[in-house]
Each structure stands twice: as structure tokens, then as C-alpha cells.
Amino acid sequence: MSVLITGGAGFIGSHTARLLARSGMDIVVLDNLSTGRRDAALHGAFVQGDVADSALVRLILRKHKVTSVLHLAASAQVADSLRRPDLYFANNTCVTAALLGAMAAEGVQQLVFASSCSVYGNVDTAAASEFDPVFPVSPYGESKLATERTLPWYELAFGLRWVALRYFNAAGAEQGLGEEIAESRRIIPRAVSAALGQGAALEIFGTDFPTSDGSAVRDFVHVTDVARANQLALRYVEQKGSGEVINIGSGHGVSVLDVVAAVAEQAGCDVPWHARPARLGDPAQAISNISRAEELLRWSPGCSSMREIVGSVLRSRGVKPGFKFYTTHH
């Protein structure tokens, strides 16, 4: 199998590229480095460019004899999407349509699409199922859902075989592939940065949600488990599976304040934080039902406990979990 990974120099992409390369797949990474890091693209061929450049994409597909595409490239911040919906529909929906057109033109018929739990919006059930109604409350979620809805039509017209993976909150790190902690918008790296005195106090958006402690509840899944789900989804479409939307999460909810407590415990010091008003578009909770992933992909999370996730982020910063820091925070 020869796989094109769009956004392959990013957080999920770099971890997935490592896993696929180690399993013997031929990898080519396409990334414009707007958020990805060149030094994270350690596996396979690398091309700096934009997925919207159809001529470039078609050349890559031909040159590398690509059989499958893992489409990870996207703008992916809920709050940012509310300020710039034009950017999100352009980068997520329109660019994906351009990619699908290039694939159809070159006869590449296998796709794994990175969707998002943001398509669910405010979930009323304890855990979101793929059969639940979807009501996005942000342009980001809407842009992902719009692409999900186009895929069956490409299947009908061009024989595309596809799977859409609705990622929940990818987190954690592997050795050598940790995020730049100062630049990350993810809560765990920001909490670690605050705890170690290497960044500003953590901002917690919303402390009056209808949850047990007032903070938002999220489903955190280790990026290593996400990479493995990507690998299994690629195998699924290679073996003629198609037309499935599948949740990828831990199946368990953790509140933001519980995340703060977990970081403090393993870092050995408090996490300074400030309460901020809840952001428009942020649901009170987002927890996955992962039964379809277990059934269709034979996938389940293997290292997605909060202890394992936080420990992996600390180790990626060269810190042994449990080490005591004596830092005065203000």
C-alpha cells in the first residue's frame, strides 16, 4: 500500500506516518507547514505544498503510485472558526472537494477522512453514537459534516471507498514527536507548560457547565491510539470496506478540572489557572460510544487513560512523571 498523508507533518499525521512506515507501507507526506513542523515529517517522502493545488496532488498520486489517501489536513479550532467561517469552509470543505477531484482524475479510490466529534454539537446522550442526530454548533463542525455528506456521492459516481473517522480529543505524545508546548492549543500541553512555569497560567473556558464540577467534560484519546485507528481504517478500505462513519475516542469522559488535577499530580506541582467565560460553540460534554470502532475496525484504545496521556506529554518534555518542582506561581 502506498499512502498519501495530507497534513502529515502535524500532530496526528506525524504519529500516524511513523506507525505506517514501521508497518511497511510506503508513505508520502503533503503539508504546507502552516501548522505542521518539517522536523516532525520523519518518515517517507515529504512534499511542501497545499492540498488545494490539484495539479501538485495529481502529480504526487502518479509519481508515488498512491493507492490510498489519509486526509488529515484541515483548520481545526472551534473558537477560531467562529471568527473566520470563510477560512474554515475554504480550507476544510472546498479543499477536500479539490482533493477528491484529483483522486477521481487519477483513479485513486481509497480514502480515510479525518472528521470530528464537533459534528455532534450539544450531545444529549451519555455518549455520542454515529446514529445520533448531528447538529454542529461551530463552522468547524459544519465544515467537517459537509464533507462527510459528499463522500457517498463520490462513492456512487467514482467508486470511492471511504471511511470517516470522528476523532474526539487527541492528546499525548510519543518520543521525538511531542508538540511544541509553547504553540499548542491543546489543554494538556498548556496545563503542563503552566505547571512547569514555562508558560502563562492556564485559561479554563467555562466553570458553570451542567457537569459534576462545572467544567466541560471531554473524551481524550492518546494520539498513538488514533494512529492505530488510522492504520486499521486504511486496511478496512483496502479490503473493500466503505461508507462508514466511526467514532475514535476513549469512551470515557474527563472534566477539564480533572485534567488539571492529573497534571498537577504527575508534575508534582500546582497548575495555575484562571476561569474564563465559556466559548460559543463549546458543548458541555463530548464523550464517544466506540462500539462501531470495536466492531468494524477491531480497534479499541490501548493507552488512553489520563495517567498515560499526561505522563507521555511530560516525558516528551524530558520530565519524569512524579518529579517534584518547587516553582512559585502567581
What residues are labeled active site? 140
pLDDT attached to residue 20:
97
Q: How many CA atoms lie within 13 A of 225 on its CB side?
A: 28
C-beta separation of 242 from 161 below 8 A: yes
d(CA 307, CA 72): 27
Listed in sequence order, the residues at least 6 apart from 196 whose beta carbon sits closer than 8 Å to its beta carbon are 267, 269, 317, 319, 325, 327
As a whole number of angstroms, the distance between CA 277 and CA 215 comes to 11
- Three-state SS string over the chain comes to CEEEEECCCCHHHHHHHHHHHHCCCEEEEEECCCCCCHHHCCCCEEEECCCCCHHHHHHHHHHCCCCEEEECCCCCCHHHHHHCHHHHHHHHHHHHHHHHHHHHHHCCCEEEEEEEHHHCCCCCCCCECCCCCCCCCCHHHHHHHHHHHHHHHHHHHHCCEEEEEEECEEECCCCCCCCCCCCCCCHHHHHHHHHCCCCCCEEEECCCCCCCCCCCEECEEEHHHHHHHHHHHHHHHHCCCCCEEEEECCCCCEEHHHHHHHHHHHHCCCCCEEEECCCCCCCCEECECCHHHHHHHCCCCCCCCHHHHHHHHHHHCCCCCCCCCCCCCC
The 10s digit of each residue's pLDDT in 199-242 is 889 999 999 999 999 999 999 999 999 999 999 999 999 999 99
User: Quick one: CATH architecture of 187-218+251-287+303-316?
Assistant: Alpha-Beta Complex (3.90)
pLDDT of residue 183: 63
- State the Cα–Cα distance between residues 71 and 78, nearest whole angstrom: 19
Distance from chain centroid for Cα 90: 19
Residue 123 has pLDDT above 90, yes or no: no
What angle (nearest 5°) sits at the alpha carbon of residue 82, between those of residues 230 and 199? 75
- Tell me the fold of 2-171+221-248: Rossmann fold (3.40.50)
pLDDT of residue 139: 96
**Phi and psi of 274, rounded to 5°?**
-125, 140
Residue 89: other Cβ atoms inside 10 A: 18
Query: Among 65-74, 92-101, 186-195, 248-257, where is mean pLDDT lowest?
Result: 186-195
- Write down the mean pLDDT value for the chain: 93
Domain 2-171+221-248 identical in fold to domain 187-218+251-287+303-316: no
Which residue from 183, 196, 194 is spatially nearest to 321, judged by alpha carbons? 196
pLDDT in tens, 16-41: 999 999 999 999 999 999 989 998 88
β-strands 217-218, 254-255 pairing: antiparallel
Parse the chain into domains and list their residue ranges.
2-171+221-248, 187-218+251-287+303-316
Q: Give the per-residue pLDDT at 122.
A: 83
What pLDDT does 180 receive? 62
The answer to whether 168 and 118 have CB atoms below 8 angstroms apart is: no
Q: Is the predicted pLDDT of residue 324 greater than 60, yes or no?
A: no
pLDDT in tens, 55-99: 999 999 999 999 999 999 999 988 899 999 999 999 999 999 999
pLDDT of residue 280: 83
Q: What pLDDT is recorded for position 326?
A: 39
Using DSSP bridges, classify how beta strands 161-167 and 110-116 pair: parallel, antiparallel or unpaired.
parallel
pLDDT band per the 50, 70, 90 thresholds, residue 327:
very low
pLDDT at 191 over 70: yes
- Global pTM reads 0.94
pLDDT of residue 179: 64
